[in-house]
Amino acid sequence: MTRYILDACALIAALTDEPGVEVIESLFLRDDVEIVMNKLNLLEVYYDIYRRSGSMMADEMLDEIGRSPIRVIPEMTDAVFKEAGRLKAIYRISLADAVALAEASVTGGSLVTSDHHEFDPVQATEKISFFWIR
């Protein structure tokens, strides 16, 4: 089974019908994949929706995620913790981006993202799989 790790921009694209939504929706329809997201990355989405639309919409998003095929990873393993620290130190990316990358790196999954600005330098030097939505 192929594992896909969502970062915040991928989930926001799916929730707000941004370009790339059809790519994410196609993943949701497949039975041969596992779709996961670290709770720290989900916090980024919650914060974004809360800031733009208030607590009710942010809470509704959490309910929607609970009904979706996304499995939220509630805690961080030691391996992900250390890999996130390494990636953040080398690439000077946000903590949440480092955690999403580390999940992909440690578990052998593909990071689902549209964030070329942050991740193109990582893709050029690391053996981490990326699944670009746009």
Sign of the torsion formed by the C-alpha atoms of 45, 48, 49 and 55: positive
Domain residue spans of the chain: 2-132
Q: State residue 75's pLDDT score.
A: 95
∠ CA 112-21-37, nearest 5°, is 35
Mean pLDDT of the region 106-124:
97
* pLDDT tens per residue across span 15-60: 999 999 999 999 999 999 999 999 999 999 999 999 999 999 999 9
Place of tokens 């997201």: 37
> DSSP E strands: which ranges in 1-134?
2-6, 33-38, 70-73, 110-113, 129-132
* pLDDT tens per residue across span 61-114: 999 999 999 999 999 999 999 999 999 999 999 999 999 999 999 999 999 999
Tell me which fold the domain 2-132 belongs to.
Answer: Rossmann fold (3.40.50)
pTM of this prediction exceeds 0.75: yes
